[in-house]
Chain A
């Protein structure tokens, strides 16, 4: 992993996922270390994402490194018409590592080819957000004690949700059984179902999850956005089927945990928050340890 960019979750193998997770565990036990002393990490956010940026910057700061960069495109030279190529070529002279978020898909792969220093993709449009996926894996392993043989429920927008696609790719290495719960308009795309079929993995599709929820080990919730529907009436009719409420968890497995990439809108009712099966806030906190692990392994500090 040393000196290699992380653009797409498939850039890492199963063994490399596990290596990152093991390392993240060490950082969770000891989050303040000075291993990044004297190093500079550039955080280039061509579109704002406060949550992701703070998580990365906190990871760097707790390891004793310094951060430079910008938090939205208006404070960068991109607004003056500078190409991404030129921005990256300039910035890689000032940093040991680039963390980048950009609204255009494929921008991170391109940056990694132009840059002299490794690039971590912190989201390129609707395409990839691999550090989110690794923190999802970390949360799953931490709460279940294993990644193997789990029943994973994915709920809501499975068509456009990049987090569920990447999580599916990663979890397919661990003999997962998938349950896809979504409205017809937002079903899991065929290419992912074909991928699972080729790997000999089982998946099931449902329009709502009230009857099957008790089988879940992990319930991964996503936002169902109105603008994704071509028919607004269809949205009004279906939206309530994808809201998780506390009473639905009454007979669920004792080990089940609810995950969500955050921010949520209304797809997880507030009454779930106090249930010990709700894990989404801790999940976000895990992001710092996982990003510490990714940064330090790319910089070859472990």
Chain B
């Protein structure tokens, strides 16, 4: 199984591999992490077979390492994601994504009458259910669940 993976998306010397991204959310992850604005070499594969997710995606970024608070931002769309930190072709560290207690500026509030949807305001949510990723708006106090979640 491990070898198959390496065949699909080629190995990197130094950098980060983000695995177990739901295939449909690959581009959301790219947006959230700002990978669409970087110059680093990056390869990704999508619609790969996964026992857990059905279809998964994987991203490999050369010479890029994330701070935990940044990587936790993708928990909204890819809570199962796993990170491998690569140094000299070897995995030196593994990380999982943790759903943070609060989410700032990533998701939109589902409520059209919320002030954050009517004026330039950075959204803020508390996470009321980490497993199902259910958010409560800091402003209007309404619930936004994963089904209704839109990324800013």
Binding site for B on A (CB under 8 A): 8, 83-85, 102-107, 109-110, 124-128, 191
Q: How many residues of B contact A (CB 8 A)?
A: 17
- Give the shortest distance, in Å, between A163 (CB) and chain B (any CB): 15
Chain B residue nearest to A107 (CB atoms) is: B115
Interface residues of B in 94-130 (CB under 8 A from A): 109, 111, 113-116, 118-121
Q: Are A105 and B111 touching (Cβ within 8 A)? A: yes
- Complex: how many Å from CA A127 to CA B142? 8
Say whether, besides A8-B141, A110-B139, A127-B140, A103 and B113 are in contact (CB < 8 Å): yes
B120:A106 contact, CB within 8 angstroms: no
B28 at the interface (CB under 8 A from A): no
Question: What's the minimum C-beta distance from A165 to chain B, rounded to whole angstroms?
Answer: 10
When the two chains form their complex, are residues B114 and A104 in contact, meaning their CB atoms are under 8 A apart? Answer: yes
Chain B residues whose C-beta falls within 8 Å of the C-beta of A106 in the assembled complex: 109, 114-116, 137-141
For the complex, give the distance between the alpha carbons of A171 and B43 in Å.
56
Specify the chain B residue showing the minimal Cβ separation from A109: B139
Pick the residue among A104, A126, A191 that contacts B118 (CB under 8 A): A104
Please give, as numbers and ranges, the residues of chain B lying within 8 Å of A107 by CB-CB distance.
115, 139
Q: Distance (Å) between the CB of B132 and the closest chain A CB?
A: 13
Nearest residue, chain A, Cβ from B120:
A83
Q: Given that A105-B139, A105-B142, A125-B140 are contacting pairs, would A110 and B111 also be in contact in the complex, using a CB cutoff of 8 Å?
A: no
Report, nearest first, the 5 A-B pairs whose CB atoms are least far apart: A106-B139, A105-B140, A106-B140, A106-B115, A107-B115
Is B64 part of the binding interface, using a Cβ–Cβ cutoff of 8 Å? Answer: no
Task: For A8, list chain B residues within 8 Å (CB).
Answer: 141
A85 touches B119 (CB 8 A): yes
List A contacts of B138 (CB < 8 A): 106, 109
Binding site for A on B (CB under 8 A): 109, 111, 113-116, 118-121, 137-143
A106 to B120, CA, bound (A): 13
Contacts of B114 in A (CB 8 A): 104-106
Q: What's the minimum C-beta distance from B100 to chain A, rounded to whole angstroms? A: 20
| Distance of A75 from chain B, by nearest CB (Å) | 20
Alpha-carbon separation in the docked complex, A103 to B141 (Å) = 15
In the assembled complex, the CB of A115 is this many whole angstroms from the nearest CB of chain B, namely 14
B35 to chain A, nearest CB (A): 31
Q: How far is the CB of B135 from chain A (nearest CB, A)?
A: 13
Which residues of B lie under 8 Å from residue A126 when comparing CB positions? 113
Cα A278 to Cα B139 in complex, Å, equals 36
The answer on a CB contact under 8 Å between B115 and A84 is yes
A127 to B137, CA, bound (A): 11
Contact yes or no, A110 B120, CB < 8 A: no
Contacts of A125 in B (CB 8 A): 113, 140
Q: Are B115 and A104 in contact (CB under 8 A)?
A: yes
Closest to B116 in A: A106
Rounded to whole Å, the gap between the CB of A47 and the closest CB of chain B is 12
Query: Which of the listed residues A84, A103, A105 has the most CB atoms from chain B within 10 Å of its own CB?
Result: A105
Instruction: Give the complex CA separation of A106 and B141 in angstroms.
Output: 7
Who on chain B is nearest to A104 by CB?
B115
Q: List 10 interface pairs A-B (beta carbons < 8 Å), by A numbering.
A: A104-B118, A105-B115, A105-B142, A106-B109, A106-B141, A107-B115, A125-B113, A126-B113, A127-B141, A191-B143
Query: In the complex, which residues of chain A have a beta carbon less than 8 angstroms from the beta carbon of B139?
Result: 105-107, 109-110
Residues on the B chain within 8 Å of A127, using CB: 140-142
Q: What's the Cα separation between A124 and B114 when bound, in Å?
A: 10
Known pairs A106-B109, A107-B139; list 16 more (Cβ under 8 Å).
A83-B119, A83-B120, A85-B120, A104-B115, A104-B118, A105-B139, A105-B141, A106-B114, A106-B137, A106-B140, A106-B141, A110-B139, A124-B115, A124-B140, A126-B113, A127-B140
Give the residues in chain A near B111, CB-CB below 8 Å. Answer: 105
Interfacial chain A residues near B140, Cβ < 8 Å: 104-106, 124-125, 127
**Least Cβ–Cβ distance between B115 and chain A, in angstroms:** 4
Count chain B CB atoms within 10 A of each CB in A8, A105, A106 and give the residue with the most.
A106
B47 CB to nearest A CB, Å? 37
- Evaluate contact between A104 and B113: CB separation under 8 angstroms: yes
Within the complex, the shortest CB–CB distance from B131 to chain A, in Å, comes to: 15
